[in-house]
Amino acid sequence: MNIITSSLNHILNSSSLAGLALFSALCFSSFGLSQPAPTEQIRERQFAQARRHMVERDLRARGIKDPRVLGAMALVPRHLFLEERLRSSAYLDQPLPIGQGQTISQPYIVALMTELLELKGNERVLEIGTGSGYQAAILSHLAKEIYTVEIIPALAERAKERLGRLGHANVWVKTGDGFFGWKEKAPFDAILLTASAEATPEPLWDQLRELGSLVMPIGEANKDQKLVRVKKMAGRQQAEEITGVIFVPMTGASRKEPR
């Protein structure tokens, strides 16, 4: 009898312990669910919502139609390419400073220039003027390989680190004078310049594949500039003016070219 009572008490005690453990787990889980999300998670949700609004308000509503471009713009976190103090302005349609006298272009211009390249997904693209790395990040979702050249070493290193940290494994960053392009990786299916020049740099034209497109701002610094798309047709330039823009000028050899 004592053996039976002892065994029964053991079973009851074990069941009670299991029940208590389950009750404690449920209470802990309910308590956790009732707590507000960490501040960083809330901020990221707010940024994601602002990014979606930006795509609808400043891109789709202004004529950007390529769904792949719109998708990339909705995906890439522009705020992570800016200093903390500027992140609250990341999804306004305006350029913002990134240091060294340079800027990150406004989202509409980034989307427009990207759409003009008419990328399908298997291209090799050259970007001149890496800056923050944001444009290269957008391109990385739309083409196979992105090669980007930045003349300012501090910006190049910062962009390289940032792009690597964010997982853009198909982007290669080089410190150098963009006027000369990246000859070792040529030819390119598309070339995009994020700084203005008075004419298409000849080395870049030579590195553009036949039937390829080059998109760039043309014009003098601090004067009227035009965003143009130049296609290579039988080795000749077929240029199309798109809209008026204002970009910082190319530096390096571009400034020394005879006019």
Q: Which residues are catalytic?
A: 105
Nearest residue to 117 via CA among 135, 102, 134? 135
Contact 201, 229 (CB under 8 A): no
Nearest residue to 194 via CA among 210, 176, 178, 208? 178
How many Å is the maximal CA-CA distance in the chain?
Answer: 110
Contact 215, 193 (CB under 8 A): yes
